Amino acid sequence: MGPFEIGAIAIVLGCALEGYRIYTKKQATGSSSEMKAMQGELSTLKERVAALESIVTDKSYQLKEEFKRL
């Protein structure tokens, strides 16, 4: 291999490496926005579960369920 071939290979590999860096940067930003959306949905679901727990553990609800069973 001559010096020109080695130089050409180095240039091609350098461009490929920079392209990979750009690709991974875009993947990281896309996943962070998805993560924020998932965290928002998770907090909403936690609030809903807390509301359901308060309804189910309420004494009047339990009394109504006992009457239904009778």
Contacting residues for 61 by C-beta, under 8 A, at least 6 apart: 55
DSSP for residue 57: T
In which residue ranges of the chain is pLDDT below 70? 30
Q: What is the pLDDT of residue 30?
A: 66
**pTM for the predicted model, two decimal places:** 0.48
Residue 6 has which token pair? 């080695």
Q: How far is CA 63 from the centre of its chain?
A: 41
**Count: domains in the chain:** 1
Question: Residue 63: which domain range?
Answer: 3-69
The string of pLDDT tens digits covering residues 35-51 is: 788 899 999 999 999 98
